[in-house]
């Protein structure tokens, strides 16, 4: 028989090639799928290869060969009759006696009546008579089970990925079929927790490159490696900046900026309480949030309870004077009015306040309850205020923490604090990369 090898990017295309070259009754002897190109397994291209020959002449039972039925390669013998819908009544039962090769099948109308039930193809006898045959059947069923599991998981991951990316499934996901189970599980976990798709790809590729194949089979080792890589994406300050006189002679001056309602005032009160009550430092408060009477009252109430001086300022000139009047403090904490990232004019006004003070630290406050794209856009607009740190608030209320990974990386600033509830002063903690990485995988902060 004259054999030919056909190659294409998908099985369907390759089969179409075979059909158009050798006809619909072509005999398929071998199929193989392999990958070409790409870097570290990502971006590889799949190539499907089919070796086929022309239809075999009619005659006694030919050597086992696969054939095309409606574009699907199947083994000729051992196809259980219940899976085959035959148009003609008189047909030799499958697996019994010699059957003509498909090539010689009497002009069966093509395609065969549709829709047809799924057809299983196996090389093992379904009624094994020997131990060897039983073992072959067992092995084949086991490998089908594994394959099916992989297919289901790849399709689950692909769906998640497509939802995240809002686009089709990238080549990287298609290439995931061969990922070890622990890595695949963590990959879907990242996507379930709303980690940006491209970032999840990057993390998984990094872990895979880091570990040996033995290590990749161990769930604990894979998890630790992933946490290490995730932590690297969310750098944190790791210590509270000590209050006290700074090299420029001024008290440590910290401003909080961010959109309305994210928790700036509450967080400022928590920080003030921590400096004063836990560290015994002398703290002064300033607010420029005079747009809402309630906003000043809110901070005044906290200042009264904690026992701190509060200055309310209306202009950039006044804020400089207020800082000078608090020069004997160890720390000056500045609250600001929330600014919509869509309101360029007011954002510019806030920028003038901040520039007049030149704080030692400006913390951008972002609520973890916002979506990744919203946080990213907000951070972009507030970049005009030259923030130096990021505070994530409301970690207790966020549905998933995955977006924090992408946002932190995009902003390129260290994390300073997380807040985890409404209570002043308790619901605040120093940011820790590892803790956040664990929380992202767990879906919540865990003790
Ligand atoms: N669940 C939860 N609520 C918070 C947290 N931080 C602040 N809040 C609440 O968010 C609302 C707005 O807070 P506020 O400090 O006034 O926000 P601002 O407009 O940015 O100053 C208030 O009801 C706070 O109690 C937090 O970490 N978790
Ligand atoms: Mg406020």
Number of Cβ atoms within 10 Å of the Cβ of 443: 16
Average pLDDT, the chain: 80
Does the beta carbon of 429 sit less than 6 angstroms from any atom of ligand 1?
no
Please give the domain boundaries of the chain with CATH numbers for all domains.
4-104 (no CATH), 131-233 (no CATH), 252-442 (3.40.50.300)
CA-nearest residue for atom 7, ligand 1, is 263
At 244-273, the pLDDT tens digits run 999 999 999 999 999 999 999 999 999 999
Out of 47-51, 58-62, 130-134, 434-438, pick the least confident.
58-62
CA-nearest residue for atom 10, ligand 1, is 263
Measured from the Cα of 262, ligand 1's closest atom is 20
Does the beta carbon of 397 sit less than 6 angstroms from any atom of ligand 1?
yes
**296 CA distance to ligand 2 middle (Å):** 8
Out of 61-65, 320-324, 358-362, pick the least confident.
61-65
State the pLDDT at residue 153. Answer: 63
**352 CA distance to ligand 2 middle (Å):** 18
Does the beta carbon of 164 sit less than 6 angstroms from any atom of ligand 1?
no
Between 229 and 28, residue with greater pLDDT: 229
Average pLDDT for 96-120: 40
CA-nearest residue for atom 4, ligand 1, is 422
Measured from the Cα of 419, ligand 1's closest atom is 27
At 371-428, the pLDDT tens digits run 999 999 999 999 999 999 999 999 999 999 999 999 999 999 999 999 999 999 999 9
State the pLDDT at residue 146. Answer: 67
**261 CA distance to ligand 1 middle (Å):** 6
Strands 389-393 and 361-367: parallel
Does the beta carbon of 263 sit less than 6 angstroms from any atom of ligand 1?
yes
At 211-228, the pLDDT tens digits run 999 999 999 999 999 999
User: Strand, coil or helix: what is 367?
Assistant: strand
What pLDDT band is residue 60 in, cutting at 50, 70 and 90? very low
Number of Cβ atoms within 10 Å of the Cβ of 72: 14
At 286-298, the pLDDT tens digits run 998 877 778 889 9
Whether 328 has a pLDDT exceeding 70, the answer reads yes
Indicate yes or no: pTM above 0.75: no
Residue count (the chain) = 447
**231 CA distance to ligand 1 middle (Å):** 26
CA-nearest residue for atom 13, ligand 1, is 263
Q: How many CA atoms lie within 13 A of 439 on its CB side?
A: 24
State the pLDDT at residue 253. Answer: 98
Q: What are phi and psi of 180, to 5 degrees?
A: -60, 150
Tell me how many helices (H) and strands (E) the chain has.
Answer: 14, 13
Average pLDDT for 442-446: 88
- Going by C-alpha positions, the residue among 174, 238, 172, 237 that lies closest to residue 206 is 172
What pLDDT band is residue 43 in, cutting at 50, 70 and 90? low
Bridge partners (DSSP) listed for residue 39: 42
State the pLDDT at residue 134. Answer: 82
- Nearest-angstrom CA–CA distance, 101 and 62: 7
**261 CA distance to ligand 2 middle (Å):** 7
State the pLDDT at residue 284. Answer: 98
- Nearest-angstrom CA–CA distance, 190 and 175: 17
At 70-98, the pLDDT tens digits run 444 444 333 333 333 334 444 434 433 34
Does the beta carbon of 427 sit less than 6 angstroms from any atom of ligand 1?
yes
Average pLDDT for 304-330: 95
- Going by C-alpha positions, the residue among 270, 218, 263 that lies closest to residue 429 is 270
What pLDDT band is residue 54 in, cutting at 50, 70 and 90? confident
Does the beta carbon of 261 sit less than 6 angstroms from any atom of ligand 1?
yes
């Amino acid at each position: 028989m004259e054999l030919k090898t056909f190659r294409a990017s998908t099985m369907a295309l390759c089969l179409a090639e075979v059909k158009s070259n050798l006809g619909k009754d072509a005999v398929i002897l071998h199929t193989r799928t392999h990958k070409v190109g790409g870097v570290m397994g990502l971006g590889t291209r799949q190539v499907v290869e089919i070796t086929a020959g022309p239809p075999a002449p009619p005659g006694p039972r030919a050597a086992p060969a696969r054939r095309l039925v409606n574009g699907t390669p199947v083994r000729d013998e051992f196809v259980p009759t219940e899976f085959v819908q035959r148009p003609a009544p008189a047909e030799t039962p499958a697996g019994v006696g010699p059957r003509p090769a498909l090539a010689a099948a009497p002009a069966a109308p093509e395609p065969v009546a549709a829709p047809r039930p799924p057809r299983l193809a196996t090389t093992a006898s379904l009624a094994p008579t020997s131990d060897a045959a039983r073992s072959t059947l067992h092995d084949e069923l086991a490998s089908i089970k594994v394959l099916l599991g992989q297919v289901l998981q790849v399709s689950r991951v692909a769906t998640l990925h497509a939802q995240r990316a809002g686009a089709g499934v990238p080549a990287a996901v298609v290439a995931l079929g061969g990922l070890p189970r622990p890595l695949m599980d963590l990959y879907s976990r990242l996507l379930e927790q709303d980690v940006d798709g491209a970032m999840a790809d990057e993390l998984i590729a990094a872990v895979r490159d880091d570990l040996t194949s033995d290590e990749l089979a161990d769930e604990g080792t894979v998890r630790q490696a992933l946490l290490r890589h995730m932590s690297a994406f969310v750098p944190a300050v790791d210590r509270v900046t000590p209050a006290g006189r700074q090299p420029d002679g001024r008290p440590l001056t910290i401003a909080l900026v961010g959109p309305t309602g994210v928790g700036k005032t509450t967080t400022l009160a928590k920080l003030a309480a921590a400096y004063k009550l836990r560290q015994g430092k002398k703290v002064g408060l300033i607010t420029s949030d005079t747009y809402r009477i309630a906003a000043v009252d809110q901070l005044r109430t906290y200042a009264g309870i904690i026992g701190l001086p509060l200055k309310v300022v209306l202009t950039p000139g006044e804020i400089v004077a207020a800082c000078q009047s608090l020069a004997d403090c160890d720390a000056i904490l500045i609250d600001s009015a929330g600014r919509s990232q869509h309101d360029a004019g007011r954002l510019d006004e806030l920028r003038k306040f901040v520039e007049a003070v030149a704080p030692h630290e400006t913390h951008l406050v972002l609520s973890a309850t916002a979506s990744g794209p919203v946080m990213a856009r907000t951070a972009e607009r507030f970049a005009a205020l030259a923030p130096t740190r990021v505070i994530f608030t409301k970690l207790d209320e966020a549905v998933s923490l995955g977006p924090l990974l992408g946002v932190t990386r995009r902003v390129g600033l260290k994390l300073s604090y997380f807040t985890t509830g409404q209570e002043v002063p308790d619901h605040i903690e120093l940011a820790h990369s590892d803790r956040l990485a664990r929380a992202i995988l767990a879906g919540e902060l865990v003790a």
